[in-house]
C-alpha cells in the first residue's frame, strides 16, 4: 500500500516537473523581479529634460530662482559623487569632495572624478552626474502672449529645445507675490 502511494506521488511529481508550465513559471519569477527593479530606472531615463522660463518684472529675483535650481542640481550631483567616492576611495572621500566643493560645476565634477580614478583606477569611470530634470532658459519674449508659440511647440527656444513651462511672477499693489504656471496644455486653450 505504501509502495503504491509512493509510486502515485512520484508519477504526479514527474508529470508536474515535465510540464513546460512549471519551468516557465519558475523562470518568470526572477525575470519579473528584474523587470520590476529596472522599471524605475528606465522610466527616469525616458523622461525628457524640461526647459522652463521665468517671466518676472524683477530680473534679479528671476536670476536668483534660476541660481537656486542650479544649486539644487549640483547638490544632487555632489550626493551621487559622495556615494561613489565612499565605495571607490573611502580614505580619500574628504579630499575628493573638497575638490568638487571648490568648483561645483561640470569642471569640478570632472576634476573630482579624475582624482577618484587616480586612487582606484576604473571604479569611478562609469560615474555620470544625475540627469537634469529641469533646465532654466532665458525668456525669449517679455509676455505670456509672446511665449505662446514656444509653449505650443510652434517655435523652439534659442537653445533649440522645446519650452515645457513658463512661470510668471507678479507683484500686486500690496507688494505680495503671485505666480502663474503656463505649459503647453494651458497655452493651447
* Residue 113: exposure state from Cβ atoms within 10 A (0-12, 13-18, ≥19): buried
Beta pairing class for 50-56 and 134-136? parallel
The label of the residue with cell 541660481 reads: 67
pTM of the full predicted structure? 0.64
Residues of the chain under the 70 pLDDT cut: 41, 44-45, 118-127, 185-189
Q: What is the pLDDT of residue 124?
A: 59
Please name every residue paired with 135 in a beta bridge, in sequence order, or none if there are none.
51
Q: What is the pLDDT of residue 87?
A: 80
Q: What is the pLDDT of residue 179?
A: 87
Dump pLDDT digits (tens) for 101-112: 888 888 888 888
Q: What is the pLDDT of residue 44?
A: 66
Q: What is the pLDDT of residue 97?
A: 86
The Cα-based distances of 149 to 111, 136, 138, 146, 183 in angstroms read 41, 18, 15, 7, 11
Amino acid at each position: 500500500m505504501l509502495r503504491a502511494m509512493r509510486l502515485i506521488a512520484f508519477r504526479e511529481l514527474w508529470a508536474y516537473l515535465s510540464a513546460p508550465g512549471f519551468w516557465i513559471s519558475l523562470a518568470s519569477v526572477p525575470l519579473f523581479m528584474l523587470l520590476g527593479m529596472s522599471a524605475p530606472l528606465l522610466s527616469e531615463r525616458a523622461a525628457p529634460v524640461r526647459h522652463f522660463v521665468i517671466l518676472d518684472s524683477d530680473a534679479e529675483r528671476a536670476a536668483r530662482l534660476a541660481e537656486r535650481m542650479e544649486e539644487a542640481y549640483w547638490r544632487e550631483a555632489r550626493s551621487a559623487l559622495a556615494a561613489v567616492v565612499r565605495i571607490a576611495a573611502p580614505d580619500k572621500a574628504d579630499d575628493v569632495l573638497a575638490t568638487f566643493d571648490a568648483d561645483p560645476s561640470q569642471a569640478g565634477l570632472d576634476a573630482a572624478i579624475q582624482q577618484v580614478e587616480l586612487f582606484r583606477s576604473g571604479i569611478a569611470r562609469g560615474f555620470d552626474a544625475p540627469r537634469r530634470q529641469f533646465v532654466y532658459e532665458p525668456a525669449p519674449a517679455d509676455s505670456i502672449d509672446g511665449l505662446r508659440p514656444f509653449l505650443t511647440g510652434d517655435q523652439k527656444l534659442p537653445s533649440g529645445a522645446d519650452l515645457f513651462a513658463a512661470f510668471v511672477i507678479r507683484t500686486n499693489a500690496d507688494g505680495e507675490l503671485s505666480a502663474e504656471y503656463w505649459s503647453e496644455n494651458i497655452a493651447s486653450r
